């Protein structure tokens, strides 16, 4: 048995097998859904170095256009 903390509501709870738990690492479906909603509503984001990504995305000699088709 392992004690973990829900990343959404901070509730400490015990879980037998974290990998097999239906809601892991959350304590409930509600907390899992709230977290997903935060990602979908862009309350969370992964930081990106935009200039570096732009340089990596464009081809040699072409100007980078993030709205161009296929980019």
- What class has domain 2-57? alpha beta
Cα dihedral 10/12/13/18 (nearest 10): 70
Predicted confidence at residue 71, as pLDDT, reads 45
Spatial neighbors of 18 by CB under 8 A, at least 6 apart, are 2, 4, 24, 25
Query: Tens of pLDDT along the chain (71 residues)?
Result: 889 999 999 999 998 888 888 899 999 999 999 999 999 999 988 877 777 766 766 665 566 666 765 54
Show me where the domains of the chain are located: 2-57
């Amino acid at each position: 048995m392992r004690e973990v903390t829900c990343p959404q509501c901070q509730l400490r709870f015990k879980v037998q097998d974290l990998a097999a738990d239906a809601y892991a690492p959350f304590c409930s479906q509600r907390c899992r859904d709230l977290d997903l909603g935060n990602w979908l509503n862009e309350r969370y984001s992964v930081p990106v170095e935009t200039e570096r990504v732009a340089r990596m995305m464009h081809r040699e000699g072409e100007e980078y256009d993030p709205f161009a088709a296929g980019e």
